Structure 1
């Protein structure tokens, strides 16, 4: 690696995503590494490489492209595009281009899907392995594992079940967590993995409607992929507002499995940090984002808690179509006729604005549940 000493360098890891998605990541990396503006409109690697070659006419730098062989599965024409652009600029460029890759071998013969522990069992595990646990520790275990025994066992056998220690255990050299999502899904998806991974990465980051996902993927039509992720793979679910008709176009998508949601949001999205072994950087990203990320998972936790109570016949969320401000985290219809509960979920109850929430509930009552008596509630970490 002496060849790159003393010269700026750009490291690009070719992940398992669509071309538009990896270009969006590469644009951010290039802008940071070279301290320059990169047009965000660039959606193809051909255009991005052309931009870099022009930049290198006046400024020497090293470009490292890792997992170069993955372009074959993303867009095989990239290789000829790169060759043509390189031939055009090679006598005047000051770029030192380094490409590297790896050979994949072996495959899992079977993927076993285990049922998750229920919330009572998770609490019992915390009491046994970390008697002084906080509710935030419990939420972290739920967020990182979804209660899947395999992942829970890994934590129990190796660390104290605290938020920081669990994050540190996942984000380190030779951690099984960093590759787990890929190992679980790559054989399932086959050659079409790139689009599936890009869809799941988008959903994990809050891009959760079909039009916004398609826009993030360079206006790629993903209707068939979404259908298979729901019906064939059982990885995502289609969510509609409570009591919305089956054909309603007000739809959001969500990854069902907490572990995969976490894996795509952090390990897949920040793959380049893992490849250069910048585990401290990824640790910081996860810790800094934990309060925001876990707040959304807390809502999932309480939905599961409601379901396990066996007191309700329908549990979901409610929101109005695009442009409206009214949204309620959890609405559950009681087994008794015409009784419901509406819940706002906050990590900290101090952030609960009761007057605003009651106005939303009144709107819900008028539009959807006119004959219901609705109990209102704010649930937070202390209610777990």
Structure 2
């Protein structure tokens, strides 16, 4: 698959590399697993003197042997003696960078915590002592989001405040997914695009897997995801189990309940029979897996809160694969397919709402976009988009079938909220699969 999008990130990485010719630059790159961090960095620096170190969970001396070979091959410089510790190797490279510019990418950087946790403080000392005279472009990349942010953004950590740039790589946007489908499946339907968005959420690796398998229709996409030996079946566990650690059972249960529609803390705790506030807080603020959703214009401390899963694929995985893992483990994938067929229309309707919210955000017309509901989930409005400068407000209803859209009912549901927008120009609109 060809390289798509990432124009702004590539431009930023180019500027960072240019700045490193004058003084050392440290950049850390984060993003969920499979989002395309490594591909982005290799694409950006493929034509430069670029060292690539992958930190595997192995003995430090063995890692350094691999890294030294990379240095010899790429920089074409002799290394006398043995560099058996990363401290010695990094110190050597900082010295080399005083006389020549080069880029160093360290992938899965957080794994040094397992290999040798003192590496972080060693690097801090060497960086502080040599960065003024070095011309190294140092990029530190990791896929365990919570650990990477802690390493660089926790004031108690050695590398806090050392990075000059942070890149948080996000999923492909809707426009890019459309471009990819157009290239490989020009006559795609709205149903096909929704399924492509629903499963991949714009995560580069999932997009690549479907493209490789030529799975572009709703039917072929679902078949690929739940097929025998599918890489997707264990993917949710693979992505999150290292993030969550030994408490992963509780976290998985909470996320599974949210995926199944138990979106309030009260509902979650009534089923789990335990306090979940700490778990939910970490899921939101440390792991970035869920997010709080409040009615638009609600106060920050409002108790009217729902939780949603941020990632499309993880939402699908917990809703269907994890929830029915006994069928998966028994090898009864036909049963899982029947469950998906039964529930897909309702489930995809909620994802369609998310799709249109993302599209409205991409238009850059509004300063506030969200959903709305009143007490006991009364008068729910799928999308409310506000432009306070132009004094306009948009109310939208989203249905898979356009024939089910009732603008009159939408006007009734918005009556109370509309009191907050006196003097605003009001628009009512319906979105369906025909508008995808």
> What pairs up with 1:43-122 in 2 under 5 angstroms?
109=111, 111=143, 114-122=169-177
Given candidates 339, 345, 348, the residue that maps to 2:392 is 339
Q: Which runs of 5+ in 1 are unaligned?
A: 1-107
Residue 221 (structure 1) aligns with? 275
Q: CA deviation digits over 1:220-279, x for unaligned, max 9?
A: 100000111111101111111101111100000001010111110011001001101011
The alpha carbon displacement at 1:338 in A equals 2.3
> Where in structure 1 do 4 or more consecutive aligned residues deviate above 6 Å?
none
The alpha carbon displacement at 1:172 in A equals 1.7
Determine helix, strand or coil for the equivalent of 1:326: strand
Residue 219 (structure 2) aligns with? 164
Task: Give, in whole Å, the separation in 1 of the partners of 2:341 and 2:286.
Answer: 34
Is 2:130 the counterpart of 1:130?
no
Task: Give, in whole Å, the separation in 2 of the partners of 1:132 and 1:297.
Answer: 22
Determine helix, strand or coil for the equivalent of 1:111: coil
Q: Contact between 1:311 and 1:335, CA under 8 Å: does it hold in 2?
A: no
> What pairs up with 1:1-384 in 2 under 5 angstroms?
109=111, 111=143, 114-217=169-272, 219-322=273-376, 325-334=378-387, 336-366=389-419, 368-384=420-436
Task: Give, in whole Å, the separation in 2 of the partners of 1:321 and 1:251.
Answer: 11
Determine helix, strand or coil for the equivalent of 1:178: coil
Q: Which runs of 5+ in 2 are unaligned?
A: 1-109, 112-141, 146-168
Task: Give, in whole Å, the separation in 1 of the partners of 2:219 and 2:338.
Answer: 10
Greater shift after overlay, 147-156 or 123-132?
A: 123-132
Task: Give, in whole Å, the separation in 2 of the partners of 1:381 and 1:193.
Answer: 37
Q: Contact between 1:129 and 1:160, CA under 8 Å: does it hold in 2?
A: no
Task: Give, in whole Å, the separation in 2 of the partners of 1:349 and 1:173.
Answer: 36
Residue 122 (structure 2) aligns with? none
The alpha carbon displacement at 1:361 in A equals 1.8
Task: Give, in whole Å, the separation in 1 of the partners of 2:330 and 2:299.
Answer: 48
The alpha carbon displacement at 1:120 in A equals 1.2
The alpha carbon displacement at 1:286 in A equals 1.1
Q: Contact between 1:130 and 1:160, CA under 8 Å: does it hold in 2?
A: no
Q: Contact between 1:344 and 1:379, CA under 8 Å: does it hold in 2?
A: yes
Task: Give, in whole Å, the separation in 2 of the partners of 1:361 and 1:297.
Answer: 22
Task: Give, in whole Å, the separation in 2 of the partners of 1:294 and 1:145.
Answer: 13
Task: Give, in whole Å, the separation in 2 of the partners of 1:112 and 1:155.
Answer: 24
Task: Give, in whole Å, the separation in 1 of the partners of 2:350 and 2:253.
Answer: 21
Determine helix, strand or coil for the equivalent of 1:272: helix
Figure out how many residues of one structure are paired with residues of the other and give that number: 274
Q: Contact between 2:395 and 2:410, CA under 8 Å: does it hold in 1?
A: no
Q: Contact between 1:159 and 1:169, CA under 8 Å: does it hold in 2?
A: no
Task: Give, in whole Å, the separation in 1 of the partners of 2:307 and 2:384.
Answer: 18
The alpha carbon displacement at 1:336 in A equals 2.9
TM-score normalised by the chain length of structure 1: 0.69
Determine helix, strand or coil for the equivalent of 1:312: coil
Determine helix, strand or coil for the equivalent of 2:389: coil
Task: Give, in whole Å, the separation in 1 of the partners of 2:312 and 2:269.
Answer: 23
How large is the RMSD of aligned CA atoms in angstroms? 1.5
Q: CA deviation digits over 1:302-344, x for unaligned, max 9?
A: 010011111110100011122x521100000025342110000
Q: Contact between 2:144 and 2:243, CA under 8 Å: does it hold in 1?
A: no
